[in-house]
A = this chain, B = another copy of it.
């Protein structure tokens, strides 16, 4: 009788409100979530595992947009490439969560399970246990960097008239729109070639 009537819905509303605050202000706090929901701060704490618990709910929400079935594709490099593209799209939809999510330890079970599958993919492909995390993080870094880049205005520099940067202006004009996508392709190709070379060197 004393239990909240809609606990699952409440955790979803807490997560959604935290996302709104992050989009607007770059961060959230439990008191600000409570104020926006017209609730007591203690009631919010009652439903989640503290601030860290809300970060994990955010992580699960953002990661839920990643197509995990990409990790079932074969060969391994096709899977890794498709997973990277899906991760980039998921994070690009929520760029301001990236620093929060990257700077706290992963505890969300569904996200840990996704890493487990990615590790299994690379171990099955023949990579050593010590090579797997450097590879996954080396893929994650440009994925997240590019997700932030996608949120940037297309024209990087406004090139103030009093700044003599003719080569930069030429380079920006030459690439035109889609700079973020082309840069991501360059980075992804470099990563995948290097991973294939590492695997070949082992074999």
Which residues of chain A have a CB within 8 Å of any CB of chain B? 22, 25-27, 95-96, 98-100, 102-107, 109, 112-113, 115-116, 119-120, 123, 128-130, 132-146, 148-149, 151-153, 155-160, 162-168, 170-175, 179-180, 182-187, 189-191, 193-195, 197-198
Q: How many copies does the complex hold?
A: 2
Pick from B100, B132, B155, B193: contact of A174, CB under 8 Å: B132
What residues of B have a CB within 8 angstroms of the CB of A165 in the complex? 112-113, 115-116, 119
The dominant DSSP class at the A interface is helix
Contact B133 A183 (CB under 8 A): yes
Q: Which residue of B lies closest to A122 (CB)?
A: B171
What residues of B have a CB within 8 angstroms of the CB of A100 in the complex? 26
Contact A102 B183 (CB under 8 A): no
Pick from B106, B143, B151: contact of A157, CB under 8 Å: B106
Contact B158 A103 (CB under 8 A): no
With known contacts A99-B98, A141-B141, A145-B140, A168–B112 Cβ distance under 8 A: yes
With known contacts A102-B148, A102-B152, A165-B115, A172–B133 Cβ distance under 8 A: yes
